[in-house]
Amino acid sequence: MFPLQRGRRLRVNESIRSLVRETTLSPSDFMFPMFIAEGENYKVEIPSMPGIFRRSIDLTVEEVKELFALGIRAVNIYVKVDESLKDNTGKEAWNPNGLMQRAIREIKKACPKMIVMPDVALDPYSIYGHDGIIENGDVANDATNEALVKMAVSHAQAGADFVAPSDMMDGRVLRLRQGLDAAGFSNVGIMSYSAKYASAFYGPFRDALDSAPKEADIEVPKDKKTYQMDYANRIEAVKEALMDVEEGADMVMVKPGIAYLDIVREVKNAVQVPVTVFHVSGEYAMIKAASERGWLDHDKIMMEQLMCIKRAGASLISTYFAKEAAILLNQSLY
Domain boundaries, the chain: 24-332
pLDDT of residue 209 exceeding 90: no
Cis peptide before 256 (omega within 30 of 0): yes
Q: Which of 265, 258, 259, 266 is nearest to 239 (CA)?
A: 266
Q: What is the pLDDT of residue 211?
A: 64
- For residue range 295-307, what is the model confidence (pLDDT) as tens digits? 999 999 999 999 9
**Distances 103 to 36, 57, 116 between C-alpha atoms, Å:** 8, 6, 10
- Mean pLDDT computed over every residue of the chain: 95
Q: How confident is the model at residue 219 (pLDDT cuts 50, 70, 90)?
A: confident
| Inter-residue contact 147 to 175 (CB < 8 Å) | no
Q: Which of 50, 52, 51 is nearest to 33 (CA)?
A: 52
- For residue range 49-83, what is the model confidence (pLDDT) as tens digits? 999 999 999 999 999 999 999 999 999 999 999 99
Could you give the CA distance from residue 177 to residue 186 in angstroms, rounded to a whole number? 8
Stretch 227-231: mean pLDDT? 97
Stretch 259-272: mean pLDDT? 98
CATH fold of 24-332: TIM Barrel (3.20.20)
Q: Which of 196, 269, 251, 257 is nearest to 229 (CA)?
A: 196
Q: In sequence order, what are the beta bridge partners of 189?
A: 162
| Inter-residue contact 275 to 249 (CB < 8 Å) | no
pLDDT of residue 215 exceeding 90: no
Q: How confident is the model at residue 205 (pLDDT cuts 50, 70, 90)?
A: confident
- For residue range 308-320, what is the model confidence (pLDDT) as tens digits? 999 999 999 999 9
Q: Which of 269, 262, 249, 250 is nearest to 309 (CA)?
A: 262
Q: What percent of the chain has pLDDT over 70?
A: 98
| Inter-residue contact 194 to 241 (CB < 8 Å) | yes
To the nearest 5 percent, what fractions of the chain are helix, strand and coil? 45, 20, 35
| Inter-residue contact 308 to 261 (CB < 8 Å) | yes
Q: How confident is the model at residue 204 (pLDDT cuts 50, 70, 90)?
A: confident
**Distances 3 to 13, 46, 212 between C-alpha atoms, Å:** 20, 55, 59
Could you give the CA distance from residue 80 to residue 186 in angstroms, rounded to a whole number? 29
Find the DSSP H helices in the chain: 14-19, 57-69, 99-110, 141-158, 172-182, 203-209, 235-247, 261-270, 281-292, 298-312, 322-330
Centroid of chain to Cα 217: 31
Q: Which of 68, 103, 100, 116 is nearest to 322 (CA)?
A: 68
DSSP strand pairing (138-139 vs 43-45): unpaired
Q: What is the pLDDT of residue 65?
A: 98
**Phi/psi-derived region of residue 3, left when phi > 0, alpha when psi is between -120 and 50, beta in every other case:** alpha
**Distances 225 to 193, 312, 324 between C-alpha atoms, Å:** 15, 26, 33
| Inter-residue contact 175 to 122 (CB < 8 Å) | no
Which residues does the annotation mark as catalytic?
196, 255
Stretch 255-264: mean pLDDT? 97
Helix (H) or strand (E) holding 318: strand 316-319
| Inter-residue contact 27 to 71 (CB < 8 Å) | yes
- For residue range 114-134, what is the model confidence (pLDDT) as tens digits? 999 999 999 999 999 999 999
Q: Is 266 annotated as a binding residue?
A: no
